[in-house]
Amino acid sequence: MDFEEAADAVYAAPAADFIATRNELAKQLKADGDPLGSTRLKALRKPTVAAWIANLLARNLPEELDDLLALGDEFREATADLDGDRLRELTPRRHQLLDKLTKEAARLAAAEGQKISPDVGQKLRETLDAALVDPAAGDAVRDGRLSSALRHVGFGVVDENGEPSNVTPLTDDRRRAARDRRRTPRAVEDKAAEVRPGRTGKTAEAGAAEPAEAEPAETAAARKAREAAERERREREEREAAEKAEAKQAFEDAVTAAQEAESTVEDLETQLDNAREALSEAQSLVHRLGSELDEARRTAREAQKHSREARKHYNRL
């Protein structure tokens, strides 16, 4: 299993099992010799309820979601053409498709035991609308790895907290391409250092006319230049390696801190749920005891009434 497969499995897990699944697969990646993939996996954030439902929809109804993205392409084309009639024709389809997908998502979530509150339903609809409006958001929703619901605000896509959302993931191919671009200037410089002559211009021309016995001194100068360039290159690589190791350690520390914070949030959410459950049970108990008390009072009044009637009957005897 590689990182991509593990990430898909993590986001496909039930919401309650996200942390456990992520940690287990991260251990597996590390055991399989992929420590970087393990660290990247541990950095994945637990999805909010709305994001989890959007991911569920992407996995189970990909064709219907593709219809939404295709409708977004039609909207962009009509907008570019300033075709008002076409836009007015597409708008009802937009609302109908959003209604349909939201209902289908609610059905899928209910089958998984997850209820949708009005707030979550609104965030889900906003996420689907962002996927329609913004191609990058559409790709992110289609990938099924959202950690937060999305919302289109006219000039981009933001997450549930109103923060700009980087919905275009940096793939491994992009990372390799970026590294290659960084290496290119260095490679050119090293190559130039290897082939750079010891003299240029008139000095070189004059050297060509010198006797053969002058060549060893020139060769030594060129060798010193190459050695100096090689030392500089090694020192630069050592600095970059140290910076990379420091950045990696900082990243791992940040991941650890994020996991600890997430664990704290999980514990507090569990305590809150337990407190709410206890409160609900206490309220039910209060309601039941109140009903029993009312019934006992009615019984007591009836008993007192019968007692008075019995006393009156006894006194008449």
Output DSSP code: residue 13: S
Domain membership flag for residue 240: yes
pLDDT value for 161: 58
Domain membership flag for residue 178: yes
Domain membership flag for residue 216: yes
Residue from 22, 74, 57, 77 nearest 142 by CA: 57
- Indicate whether this model's pTM tops 0.85: no
Of 236, 256, 276, at which residue does a domain stop? 256
Which residues touch 198 (CB under 8 Å, ≥6 apart)?
Answer: 218, 221, 222, 225
| Statement to judge: residues 136 and 192 lie in one domain | no
Domain membership flag for residue 83: yes
Residue 171 in tokens: 């793939």
Domain membership flag for residue 198: yes
**3-state DSSP assignment of residue 83:** coil
pLDDT value for 111: 93
pLDDT value for 108: 94
pLDDT value for 292: 86
What is the domain extent for residue 79? 47-158
Q: Does residue 198 contact residue 225 with C-beta atoms inside 8 Å? A: yes
Q: Does residue 69 contact residue 142 with C-beta atoms inside 8 Å? A: yes
Domain membership flag for residue 294: no
Q: How many domains, in total, are found in the chain? A: 2
Residue 188 in tokens: 């050119």
Of 128, 158, 188, at which residue does a domain stop? 158
| Statement to judge: residues 100 and 203 lie in one domain | no
| Statement to judge: residues 71 and 148 lie in one domain | yes
Extract the residue ranges of the chain whose pLDDT is less than 50. 155-156, 166-170, 174-175, 178, 181-189, 191-193, 195-215
Backbone angles phi, psi at 118, to 5 degrees: -55, -40
Domain membership flag for residue 35: no
Q: Sign (positive/negative) of CA torsion 231, 233, 235, 241?
A: negative
Of 89, 123, 158, at which residue does a domain stop? 158
Task: Tell me how far CA of residue 195 lies from CA of 19, 199, 235, in angstroms.
Answer: 55, 12, 20
Residue 226 in tokens: 């190459």
| Statement to judge: residues 56 and 147 lie in one domain | yes
| Statement to judge: residues 52 and 154 lie in one domain | yes
| Statement to judge: residues 71 and 107 lie in one domain | yes
| Statement to judge: residues 128 and 153 lie in one domain | yes
Domain membership flag for residue 6: no
pLDDT value for 198: 46
| Statement to judge: residues 144 and 193 lie in one domain | no
